[in-house]
């Protein structure tokens, strides 16, 4: 929830500072906030995990465990989704002469994601994690599709306000699965694979969306996001059986992973 709150406050704050003072000021503010957060995290020594004896996994990569390839691919595609939406929203706002408005639109996307995350966290009985991952990816795909038919910033805002509802469930399930699909000694590596996948997806999605915006039309940038959401849904569906088998119970509730 803190993560989504950051994405609600961050974009309009950065866009507002960049528009009123200048892009260097926005970058400087980002650096200060990032450094402050890092220092605050380092100070939390009381929450460090207890040391455990060294355990070797025989050189096996976390991504090779059943179900992990599907999770990593879904997370990478979500990164592409984030890039495609952000690049296209900024391009649309710039075309309309109000770059700062892009931050507000992106914040609306995070609002619905945060609300759906609160719903997931407060629900006692949920389908198994693999089904949650599939549901989040499919919801993201379906809720983003209307972006192909809207061309104004207002219309995009309306679509994104609801489209974020699939993002949080997919991310929650993805990271929870990464923590459950591998042995405990491989936990850090598994979480690194999933978080890095999002960054890699963003790195590929941003230039792809920018190229479509420049060469075809502004709205064409959304094709990248929606295509990636389709791939994420297919990947989650394809890995459903292997993930459920690895967890040992296809209908397992998420109650036991709330401490992850």
**What CATH number is attached to the domain comprising 70?**
1.20.1250.20
d(CA 208, CA 258): 36
What are the residues whose beta carbons fall under 8 Å from the beta carbon of 18, sequence distance 6 or more?
25, 26, 99, 100
In a domain, 109, yes or no: yes
pLDDT single digits (tens) 189-210: 999 999 999 999 999 999 999 9
Tell me if 19 sits within 8 A of 99, measured CB to CB: yes
Weakest-pLDDT range from 31-40, 62-71, 240-249: 240-249
Q: What is the pLDDT of residue 58?
A: 63
Q: What is the pLDDT of residue 5?
A: 76
Q: Dihedral of the CA atoms 106, 112, 115, 121 (nearest 10)?
A: -90
Weakest-pLDDT range from 77-91, 92-106, 130-144, 219-233: 92-106
What are the residues whose beta carbons fall under 8 Å from the beta carbon of 71, sequence distance 6 or more?
133, 174, 177, 178, 181, 194, 239, 243
pLDDT grade for 124, boundaries at 50, 70 and 90: confident
In a domain, 59, yes or no: no
Q: What is the pLDDT of residue 13?
A: 80
In a domain, 50, yes or no: no
What is the mean pLDDT of the segment spanning 57-72? 86
Q: What is the pLDDT of residue 56?
A: 63
> Which sign does the torsion angle of CA 62, 191, 181, 184 carry?
positive
Q: Which residues form the domain of 223?
A: 7-19+65-249
Spatial CA neighbour of 127 closest among 238, 232, 4, 240: 240
> What is the CA angle 10-12-15, rounded to 5?
100
In a domain, 211, yes or no: yes
What is the mean pLDDT of the segment spanning 74-79? 95
Question: pTM score, two decimals?
Answer: 0.82
Q: How many domains is the chain built from?
A: 1
- Spell out where the chain has E strands: none
Share of the chain above pLDDT 70, in %: 92
Tell me if 59 sits within 8 A of 158, measured CB to CB: no
What is the mean pLDDT of the segment spanning 169-179? 91
Weakest-pLDDT range from 39-53, 161-175, 217-231, 243-257: 243-257
In a domain, 44, yes or no: no
In a domain, 39, yes or no: no
In a domain, 258, yes or no: no
Q: What is the pLDDT of residue 174?
A: 93
In a domain, 196, yes or no: yes
Q: Is the pLDDT assigned to residue 218 strictly greater than 50? A: yes
8: its two tokens: 């609600």
């Amino acid at each position: 929830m803190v993560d989504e709150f950051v994405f609600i406050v961050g974009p309009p704050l950065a866009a507002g500072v960049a528009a009123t003072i200048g892009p260097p000021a926005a970058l400087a503010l980002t650096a200060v906030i990032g450094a402050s957060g890092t220092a605050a995290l380092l100070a939390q020594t009381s929450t460090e995990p207890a040391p455990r004896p060294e355990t070797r996994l025989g050189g096996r990569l976390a991504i090779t465990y059943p179900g992990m390839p599907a999770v990593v691919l879904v997370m990478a595609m979500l990164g592409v989704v984030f890039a495609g939406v952000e690049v296209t929203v900024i391009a649309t706002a710039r075309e309309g002469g109000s770059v700062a408005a892009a931050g507000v639109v992106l914040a609306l996307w995070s609002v619905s994601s945060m609300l759906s995350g609160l719903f997931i966290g407060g629900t006692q009985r949920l389908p198994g994690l693999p089904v949650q991952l599939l549901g989040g990816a499919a919801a993201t795909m379906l809720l983003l599709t209307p972006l192909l038919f809207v061309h104004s910033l207002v219309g995009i805002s309306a679509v994104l306000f609801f489209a974020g509802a699939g993002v949080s469930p997919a991310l929650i399930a993805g990271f929870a699965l990464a923590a459950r699909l591998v042995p405990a000694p491989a936990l850090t590596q598994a979480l690194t694979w999933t978080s890095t996948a999002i960054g890699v997806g963003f790195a590929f999605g941003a230039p792809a969306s920018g190229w479509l915006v420049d060469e075809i039309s502004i709205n064409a940038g959304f094709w990248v996001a929606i295509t990636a959401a389709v791939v994420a849904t297919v990947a989650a569906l394809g890995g459903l059986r292997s993930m459920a088998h690895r967890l040992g119970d296809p209908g397992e509730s998420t109650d036991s992973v709330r401490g992850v």
